Amino acid sequence: MSAEAFMSSVIQSLNEILTAANVIIAASLLLYNLTRNLNNRVTRSSAAVLACVTIAYLVDVFGSLGPVQASAHAWATRIQWIGIAFIPSALFHLADTLLATTGLPSRGRRRRIVRILYVLSGVFSVAALFTDSIFTVTIRGNNVILSPQFLFPVFMAFFLSLSITIFLFMDRARRRGLTRTSRRRMAYLQFAVLTPAIGIFPFSLLLPQTEPESLGILLLVNAANFVVILMLIFLSYPLSFFGSDKPDRVVKVELLRFLLRGPGTGMLALATIIFTTQATRIMGLSGEDFMPFAVVSVVMLWQWSISLGLPFLEKVLIYSDDSNEQLAKLQDLSDRVLTRPDLIQLIEATLRAISDYFRVPGAFVLGFDGQNIEVIKRIGKVTEEALLAESQTNLMDTINALNGQNGAFHNWQNYQIVPLYSERIANNSDQESFLIGIMGVKASESELYVPEEDKSLMTRYINRLQQTLEDMMLQTEVFAALEGLLPQISTTRSRANAIEYRMINGNQSTPANMPSREEMYEQVRAALRHYWGGPGITRSRLLNLAVVQQEMDQAGTPTQALRNVILRAIERLRPEGDRSMFGNEWIIYNILDLRFIEGKKVKEVTKRMSMSDADFYRKQRVAIGAVTDTLLLMEAEDASAS
């Protein structure tokens, strides 16, 4: 094979890879758009642009797979024109929606123009599919030759005029930006928005017919494909921020990870397939036999590289020094905090280790909150009923007698118990440690025999239980604080619709302090959980409701006013007649009253109402929703009365 033929083969393979890469990126970004907010016009119009690019390049990819019948090749070329005909209209639609985001929404005229342009694109598509009025197709060997016809100049004028209009629209949108960020993003879009259209435009109809295998043509096509790939990625960056309900940092991270793990993996796998199948021998194997191993190896190596390099890329490309420090703290919190079931599993694993090593038939851990004792975990021949049936007064007297004797077992009923202490300083106390629980084992002897050489191991087990139980208490406080504070955070990207430029019916009005039903539900849920104290009620945005403000004169404090309003809402849900713990009509009221007003634990409520835990939590969500709807009704009644 001559050097020129070898170079031509390499460039031809590169052309196939770049063409397929355009399809992979365009289709991937299209799917990425479809998973985002399709209610946003920018998202929908950009999805239309990506669909046009996908159709146009997909036909080229199928054409490069191998020789096909001349009629099929001709029809594939005509189908390609669906993307070519519609992309100027889709880009005009995108430019129109971007211009609307700068405070210049369409008052009907531009939207009518968009519809007319889509109709014209449909006419050009039909003409390209079923007639020879735009071009004719000639098959020479495996090559397709297009010849322009009388309607092609009309399409070209349509294409050029829209391209100029799109550029002017984007320039106007850029100049209307009032902030540096908005002007920068619009400048990106103005620079890149026409690239997809230029990349799929059929320039072959304007150029003299030459041999497609010539190096000059192949190099030019490859350069164009490479530029289109870069511009599609460049175009996706600013468009990702429109219609998103997430912070900019999250949008950037999601887009970077998507591009690396999705299109990046696909393009590497495709390049590996093409180059290995064209190789004659690799490590003694034919290229086709070596190809599966090569693809799997490249994909695994790429994913491993992403895992190693992604934190560095995110730090360099996305996070500033301050945000990186804050993110590190959040990440550290995420790594440290475990759920209650996770911590109970750790306690269970420790108890099983104690039971197996020291040959005891059962073990348990009780939690103590200063007033009540709770069974955290039990294993083996220990029943919860037996533990709760024991005299807690007798148990507390025993624990008080053991105060400070960490690691010392004591005989209690049929068990050997040891107190578990927290090393944190108690609130409003001079104690260096305070009781948080009890670990016990079922032992037939009066004392648990621990060999001298195993005492250090038992001490480690006890310390592990203390630390785990202490973490459970601390994380309960963290979750309680988050549960109360998170619903009160109102500055989120989900409120982007409130600042989006659009025409609003002047007859429609919404009270300024009226949250959505979803937001209201979370706030009511937090307020009920913290009904007798906590940020869920003391810092609740429900305090801004008009019905709460009116109650404040009589209640004296904002928190008490909110309690009174919530109590009134619950009383509205009380059925008529004598109260029953088992009547279906009383379920909602009983859950609200027992769980939140009286502050009883879930187990106490389920026992009194004779229901399972799963049924209780399901009914509790319904009850909170009922209080939410009642409060919204009370607020609406107050607004209409005033």
pLDDT > 80? residue 626: yes
Q: Give the per-residue pLDDT at 591.
A: 92
Q: Give the per-residue pLDDT at 301.
A: 93
- 86-90, 144-148, 276-280, 624-628, range with the lowest pLDDT: 276-280
Matching residue, tokens 């017919």: 209
Q: What is the per-residue pLDDT across 262-290, written as a single tens digit (0 to 9) for each?
A: 888 988 888 888 778 776 666 666 767 78
Minimal CA–CA distance to 543: which of 624, 488, 486, 481? 488
Q: What is the per-residue pLDDT across 91-118, written as a single tens digit (0 to 9) for each?
A: 999 888 888 877 777 777 888 999 999 9
Q: Give the per-residue pLDDT at 132.
A: 87
CA dihedral 524→528→532→536, nearest 10 degrees, is -40
Q: Where are the domains of the chain?
A: 3-245, 246-331, 340-462, 493-499+512-641
How far is CA 505 from each of CA 107, 348, 497, 508, rounded to the nearest angstrom? 12, 61, 15, 6
Mean pLDDT to the nearest integer, 555-561: 86
Cα 404 to Cα 11: distance, rounded to the nearest angstrom:
80
Matching residue, tokens 């210049």: 104
- The three-state secondary structure class of 65 is coil
Minimal CA–CA distance to 527: which of 567, 572, 586, 490? 567
Q: Comparing 312 with 448, which gets the higher pLDDT? A: 312
Cβ(579)–Cβ(609) below 8 Å: no
Cβ(311)–Cβ(257) below 8 Å: no
DSSP H or E stretch at residue 395:
helix 392-401
Minimal CA–CA distance to 114: which of 85, 84, 94? 94
In sequence order, what DSSP letters do the residues of 217-262 get, joined into one string? HHHHHHHHHHHHHHHHHHHHHHHTTTT--S-HHHHHHHHHHHHHHT
Top mean-pLDDT range of 173-182, 245-254, 592-601: 592-601
Hey, which CATH number is domain 340-462, 3.30.70.890, 3.30.450.40, 1.20.950.20, 1.10.1040.50?
Answer: 3.30.450.40
pLDDT > 60? residue 427: no
Bin 267: left if φ > 0, else alpha if -120 < ψ < 50, else beta.
Answer: alpha
- The three-state secondary structure class of 380 is strand
Mean pLDDT to the nearest integer, 349-377: 83
Minimal CA–CA distance to 98: which of 192, 210, 215? 192
The pTM of the whole model exceeds 0.85: no
Cα 518 to Cα 499: distance, rounded to the nearest angstrom:
19
Mean pLDDT to the nearest integer, 437-451: 73
Mean pLDDT to the nearest integer, 229-240: 77
Mean pLDDT to the nearest integer, 292-296: 87
392 CB contacts (<8 Å, ≥6 apart)?
Answer: 373
Cβ(413)–Cβ(390) below 8 Å: yes
Cα 318 to Cα 522: distance, rounded to the nearest angstrom:
31
In the structure, what pLDDT confidence band is assigned to residue 135 with cuts at 50, 70 and 90? confident
Hey, which CATH number is domain 3-245, 3.20.20.20, 2.30.42.10, 3.40.605.10, 1.20.1070.10?
Answer: 1.20.1070.10
Q: In what side-by-side order are the strands of the sheet with 362-368?
A: 373-380, 362-368, 434-442, 415-422, 410-412
Q: Give the per-residue pLDDT at 164.
A: 92
Mean pLDDT to the nearest integer, 580-601: 89
Matching residue, tokens 């305070």: 434
Q: What is the per-residue pLDDT across 22-41, written as a single tens digit (0 to 9) for each?
A: 888 888 888 887 777 677 78
- 283-287, 342-346, 359-363, 436-440, range with the lowest pLDDT: 283-287
- Please give the mean pLDDT across all residues of the chain: 78
Facing residues of 146 across strands?
Answer: 137
Mean pLDDT to the nearest integer, 113-125: 93
- 54-63, 78-87, 167-176, 477-486, range with the lowest pLDDT: 477-486
Mean pLDDT to the nearest integer, 296-301: 91
Facing residues of 103 across strands?
Answer: none
pLDDT > 60? residue 400: yes
Facing residues of 378 across strands?
Answer: 364
Top mean-pLDDT range of 125-129, 190-194, 234-238, 324-328: 125-129
Cα 574 to Cα 609: distance, rounded to the nearest angstrom:
16
Q: What is the per-residue pLDDT across 195-229, written as a single tens digit (0 to 9) for each?
A: 888 878 887 777 665 555 566 666 777 777 778 78
Q: Give the per-residue pLDDT at 375.
A: 82
pLDDT > 60? residue 437: yes
Beta pairing, strands 281-282 & 285-286: antiparallel
pLDDT > 80? residue 13: no
* Rounded percentage of the chain residues whose pLDDT exceeds 70: 76
Q: What is the per-residue pLDDT across 468-521, written as a single tens digit (0 to 9) for each?
A: 888 888 877 777 777 666 666 654 444 444 444 333 344 444 444 556 777 788
